[in-house]
Amino acid sequence: MAEMDRQFSALGIAQVIVVLKSAPPIPVAARIAAGGVLPRLLVSALPEVASLDECFASSELSINHALASAASATIALTVSRVSARRAPAQAPPSVLHFPNLGLMLGTVNREGLSSLRKHSMVDKVVGAPQPRLIKPVRAAATKLKTDITWGIQFMNIPRLWAQGLTGKGIRVGHLDTGADGTHASLRKAIATFAEFDSFGQLVTPTPKAHDTGEHGTHTAATIAGRPVGGKSIGVAPGADLVSGIVLEGGNVIARILGGMDWAVSQNVRLLNMSLGIPLSPPMPEFEPVLKILRSRNILPILAVGNEGPGTSRAPGNQPESVSVGAIDKKTAIAAFSSSQRFNRKEDPLVPDLVAPGVDIISAMPGRGYQSMDGSSMASPHISGLAALLLEAKPTATIDEIENAIYRSCSVGTIPTERGNRGVPDAVRAFEELTGTPLPKTAVKPSKGASKAAKKSKASKTSKAKQEKISGKKTAKSNGAVKNTGKSTAKKKKTTKTGSKQNRAGSKQKS
């Protein structure tokens, strides 16, 4: 039974998402040319759309009214204390408009539903399920001992850093429990912040970046945390986070849609979310929302869930999203990581791929760090990688980014039914996207990489010596001058300079 039918059966009314016909996609070139916040679409301002409000049930029957009534008995509406102090005294709206998505949300009776479906401005009407946060399986305070966290190393991310790629200029949407903007790794990472109250309304004035829990700070810093004291936890340490509080509690679907609508207006290219309906098959209710995001050239990246094999969460299990499962340091699928096969032609197996999601160390609200396990820890690794690739090729479409990441994956010993395509490799993804091979260099190389670098250097030196010997023989046969030692020294200097110039040129091309 669909969500709408369940609500009608139990309550006689249902909260619905209305997809409007007048929601034109924004061309990629226009988004890039805007260089910042896009103007809000004026779909909801059209008289025809305004007339749709009459199709919805009276405010006393709306979900938001029920929440407001409950709030009179208990002050906490599971929103942060900051927004509770700023909450408006007026009644919440019974109908919400999301102009950048071309959507409306409200409560209808059966007569109102029939009127909506017949309206010339309405494309479709779907139910409004209530996703939940995908909570970590384990969380523990810890110390950051390594220079680069294992997940970043595992995916070969430092090779892209070595090319100067950090995600600079790429705006990544982050809808979660918030993010602590006072943490050293996030102070300069959060470009803009917002909070959506229990009714799905934007809290004004905008509060300082904060976390209503701990989850959002962890995921945000994995995506774009800045290095602190020479230690790195962020995959794309130059990307700009567009972070919004949409979890937990309240009219969650209203909060999420509000966050999505706001993120679109902030010109994001990626949207990271760790939420979903537990133990749920794919839900058609989410399909139009995800398709709208993709039509705006925004790639939705979601955690698949933590309920183990034979399970998954919607909307992460929708074909339109990139669903991410979790592996551990030994490349084994985490026992908790969800996976499921569906009877459908497109994208029958989820997750789409897997990424590091066990013992992931990232920021904790305040000054510290903590280790967490969960598919929520894996999806930010993919969002960070996508940000690096977008910096490498800003004109890329989300399909190109998605396909480059998928083609870079390798299964190894991972069972296909649990890990699907396997784990992505940053270098292969870069080469798939750009067609440019990367030089074999890395930031802060491990001992093994250092040895490889020494071998490479020795090989180059040997080749240079052979060229010099050949040069000497030619010079002798032509009656060359003496003092060959000085000449050789000059040639060494010239060779090194030329090598540096060649490497610099290679970086610029990349």
pLDDT tens-digit series, residues 362-393: 999 998 999 999 999 999 999 999 999 999 99
State how far the Cα of 394 lies from the Cα of 137, in Å rounded to an integer. 36
424 shares a domain with 286: yes
Distant-in-sequence, close-in-space partners of 74: CB < 8 Å, separation ≥ 6: none
Cα atoms found within 13 Å of the Cα of residue 9, Cβ hemisphere only: 7
Instruction: Give the contacts of 467 (CB within 8 A, at least 6 positions apart).
Output: none
- Decide: 289 and 17 in contact? Cβ < 8 Å: yes
Do 189 and 61 lie in one domain? The reply is no
Q: Which of 127, 150, 183 is the last residue of a domain?
A: 127
Mean pLDDT value of segment 447-458? 36
87 and 144 assigned to the same domain: no
DSSP label of 215: H
Would you state the pLDDT for residue 27?
55
Same domain, 337 and 466: no
- What letter would DSSP give residue 311? B
CA 503 to CA 510: how far, in whole Å?
11
Write down the residue that tokens 């139990």 correspond to.
10
| Active site (catalytic) residues | 176, 215, 376
Q: Place 70 in a pLDDT band, splitting at 50, 70 and 90.
A: low
Strands across the sheet containing 103-108: 95-98, 103-108, 14-20, 122-127
Contacting residues for 388 by C-beta, under 8 A, at least 6 apart: 157, 160, 165, 166, 167, 235, 236, 426, 430
Provide the strand spans (E) within 130-267. Answer: 132-133, 138-142, 171-176, 190-195, 240-245
Does residue 441 form part of some domain?
A: no
Q: Are residues 93 and 150 in the same domain?
A: no
Same domain assignment for residues 160 and 283: yes
Same domain, 109 and 196: no
Last residue of a domain, one of 112, 127, 142: 127
Residues 82 and 155 in one domain: no
Whether residue 301 sits in one domain with residue 246: yes
Q: What is the pLDDT of residue 3?
A: 86
CATH of the domain at 384: 3.40.50.200
Tell me what pLDDT residue 401 has.
Answer: 99
Same domain for 359 and 465?
Answer: no
d(CA 374, CA 419): 14
**272 strand-pairing partners:** 174, 301
- Count Cα atoms within 13 angstroms, Cβ side, for 233: 30
Q: What pLDDT is stored for residue 304 in this prediction?
A: 98
Contact partners, residue 52, CB within 8 Å, separation at least 6:
18, 95, 104, 116, 119, 121, 122
pLDDT of residue 439: 84
Nearest-angstrom CA–CA distance, 176 and 212: 9
Residue partners of 38: CB distance under 8 A and separation at least 6: 26, 31, 100, 264, 265, 266, 267
468-484 pLDDT per residue, tens: 444 444 444 444 433 44
Note whether residue 442 is domain-resident: no
Query: Which pLDDT score, from 0 to 100, does residue 280 have?
Result: 87
How many domains does one find in the chain?
Answer: 3
Tell me: pLDDT of 450 over 50: no
- Cα separation values, 477 from 470, 487, 491, Å: 11, 17, 19
Q: What is the pLDDT of residue 475?
A: 44
User: Look-up: residue for tokens 């904060």?
Assistant: 210
Which structural domain range is residue 496 located in? Answer: 447-509
Q: First-to-last CA distance in the chain?
A: 51
3-state secondary structure of 357: coil
Write out pLDDT tens, residues 323-360: 999 999 999 999 999 999 999 999 999 999 999 999 99
pLDDT score, position 446: 34
pLDDT category of residue 488 using cuts at 50, 70 and 90: very low
Residue with tokens 């991410």: 324
- Residue 477 has what pLDDT? 45
Percent of the chain past pLDDT 70, that is, above it, reads: 75
pLDDT of residue 160: 98
Q: Which of 434, 455, 486 is the last residue of a domain?
A: 434
Nearest to 252 by CA among 429, 128, 391, 371: 128
Type of residue numbered 22 = S
Q: What is the mean pLDDT of the chain?
A: 84
In a domain, 344, yes or no: yes
**CA dist 138 → 135, 306, 370, 374, 498 (Å):** 9, 11, 10, 7, 52
383 within some domain: yes
Asked if residue 180 is part of any domain, the answer here is yes
Q: What is the mean pLDDT of residues 254-281?
A: 96
Largest CA distance in the chain: 104
**In one letter, which amino acid is 211?**
D
Say whether both 123 and 138 belong to one domain. no
What is the rounded CA–CA span in Å between residue 161 and residue 346? 34
pTM strictly above 0.95: no
One domain, residues 118 and 163: no
